[in-house]
Structure 1
Amino acid sequence: MIDILKFMGPEGLFISFLVVLVAIVQLFRVIISKQSNPSPLTQSNPLVKKYDDVNLDKYTNFFRMLGLSIGLTIVLAAFEYPTPANVLMTLTDTNLYIDEELDSAVVLPKPKLPQPKKVPVVKIIEVTEDKDVTKDIEIDIPEFIDPDEVIEEYIPDDEPDDEVIENEVHIIVEKTAAFKGGMGKFYRWLGKKLKYPSHAKRLGVEGKVFVEFVIEKDGSLSNLKVVRGIGAGCDEEAIRILKMCPKWSPGEQRGRPVRQKMVLPISFRLQN
């Protein structure tokens, strides 16, 4: 009986209680109606007396009792209804299935931990106390030094030769090389000797030609070359006129004449 109550639950018990209560109430109503007198309207109705088949309340009590009996039978049958076996089998099968899944669980291997590196063992050497050294060191010291003795001056072998210093080409020196009489005299001489190329005149070429050269120690010009030109024969004319140039005053370094490099612009302009 306890298993049936658990199976029905509180809602099934409440519905069963209502059905039983209604059945009891209806039973009492039937009993009371049987004991009471028949209705005066029914007795005084001539149709009911003459035609008994027209009475609609004739079988009411019968069907009411039949309904109550069927309801009670269904309620009692529900209480006595056994627990289904297939439900238990389903639960049992489910438990078995879960057990199989647990048995077939994948076991992960343990991760390999990196082995610690071996630290080299440092040997500690005990240092004993130093012993006093009593051994004497003999040093030969001359007994007499003549103050009148002449000591020769030491001249290092790696001193640069004067020839190497003099042949070096300088850009900046203590005294810069210049044309004798000044640069104004140089440009006046240049204006007299310079010839404007005919090809440059026809093309109307004008501009500045930059010539690089070296002023030697004797004042002559060497290593002439055009650094930036304008073409049309002007570059060649600039080189030609500088080769004819008189000697300059050379540059000086520490009071000695040295070679000096210089870049000079020569202008070419047409007169209107």
Structure 2
Amino acid sequence: MEPKKNPKADLTRNSGLYFVIGLALVMLLTWRALEWKKYDKGDNYDISLNVEDQLDEEVPMTEQIKTPPPPPPPAAPEVIEVVEDEEEVEETVIESTETSQEEEVAEVEDIQVEEEPEDIDVPFAVIEDVPIFPGCENAKDKRACFNEMMQKHIRKNFRYPEIAQEMGVQGRVSVMFTIQKDGSIGNIRMRGPDKNLEAEAKRIIEKLPKMTPGKQRGRAVRVPFSIPITFKLQ
């Protein structure tokens, strides 16, 4: 017995394509339905502002104020009187600064100009008359005697600070001071590795005796002097 169905008539052959087309149509209709908008055709709306007019009072008209004309200028006097100046003015007499022949003129040689002494510092190495340390008055070389007496003074008054000894501090302290015009010691400055050593060096210099001041051209001047003091642990 032969089958009645045509073998070429396969209904499921294009079912996938039909499903996709149908799905696309359904999605298109759904999107259009969601985007559908409806507008009123009537134009019956009022575009004017709903503002009540509350200005019921009448505003009076401003009146024009007329300014009065300026007063007329004063009339000029018919007769001009001339008043004479009766006050007398004293004249200032300017005296001449030129000298007459009768006055005596001082000559330039007779005028003496006093020179004011200048406070200058003359270094110890170049001063004419060095300061005299007590005990060097009769020495032939007062400069060498001064240096020798300075070393004796330092050795005599030298004292190593205990704090520096405990800390093991040693070194050289450069001391600078000035022998004033009256022979006193001033302007002491120190530079060293430790403050305790600097304080000891200052104490030694402050114990220096008063000296005979140094002189330059026969006039007392200030003399700066510097000397190193060495602190060395045994």
**Does the alignment reach a TM-score above 0.5?**
no
Q: Which of structures 1 and 2 has the bigger CA Rg?
A: 1
Question: Which structure is higher in helix share?
Answer: 1
Larger RCO, structure (CA 8 Å, separation 6 or more): 2
TM-score scaled to structure 1, two decimals? 0.39
TM-score scaled to structure 2, two decimals? 0.44
